[in-house]
Amino acid sequence: DIQMTQSPSSLSASVGDRLTITCRASQTINNYLNWYQQKPGTAPKLLIYAASSLKTGVPPRFNGSGSGTDFTLTINSLQPEDFATYYCQQSHSSPLTFGGGTKVDIK
Amino acid sequence: QVQLRESGPGLVKPSQTLSLTCSVSGASIRTDDNYWSWIRQPPGKGLEWIGYIYYRGHTYFNPSLKSRITMSLDTSKNQVSLILSSVTAADTAVYYCARTPPASLGDWFDPWGQGTLVTVSS
């Protein structure tokens, strides 16, 4: 199985901050990498697919980049509604696997 | 737009069989070219892909669960079903269904159902 490692596992930030979350795959996955946002008590929502493609309707302050084994999710000018847990997910190989999550809370 | 809703028993006894249903609206599971996925999340933990079923009935499962999983389509009701046998406390989780659209860029989950909590306990 491909292991997905996210860092950090949690962070504190303020409204207006720019933050970066990293996701590393245990082997190359080309650009088969997706990002989700999950708020407490709700289902995850797709933000970015294929490493850098923004889902329609997702604010452009969310940006995904990377290829191969190293990927980043950047949130520019953090908004109050962005405090949540973020997960990466690879679809290069079965079984599809997720990172352990990065919880973003208010500083 | 596509909407999904999971349903099933909230409590299952150890060693018994868990059966969940995902009702789909806004898309036809019989004709639309989608995969229908199941994902679970133990309380306070991360996400685990269980498997998916293609609209033509082909299934793809996580090897860690493969021996205990059955997935099927009920096209008359536009529903997707998951059966997990011989459950243990480790199967306690929120179970989500989600659509996986066919794409050359990979497999992602969008949208998701609201999830249903299943507790395995005697």
Which residues, given as ranges, of chain A have pLDDT below 50?
none
Tell me the residue ranges of DSSP E strands in chain A.
4-7, 10-13, 19-25, 33-38, 45-49, 53-54, 62-67, 70-75, 85-90, 97-98, 102-106
Residue A40 is encoded by which pair of tokens? 């407490």
Classified as helix, coil or strand, B38 is: strand
Q: Would the CB atoms of A46 and B109 count as touching at under 8 Å?
A: yes
Q: How far is CA A105 from CA A80, A84, B80, B88, in A?
A: 10, 7, 36, 33
Q: Which candidate from A43, A87, A97 shows the least CB-CB separation from B113?
A: A43
| pLDDT at position B103 over 90 | no
Q: In the structure, what pLDDT confidence band is assigned to residue B114 with cuts at 50, 70 and 90?
A: very high
A chain contacts of residue B106, beta-carbon cutoff 8 Å: 31-34, 49-50, 91-92
The per-residue pLDDT for range B22-69, each reduced to its tens digit, is: 999 999 998 778 999 999 999 999 999 999 999 888 999 999 999 999
| Residues 49 through 68 of chain A touching chain B, CB cutoff 8 Å | 49-50, 53, 55
Q: Would the CB atoms of A43 and B96 count as touching at under 8 Å?
A: yes
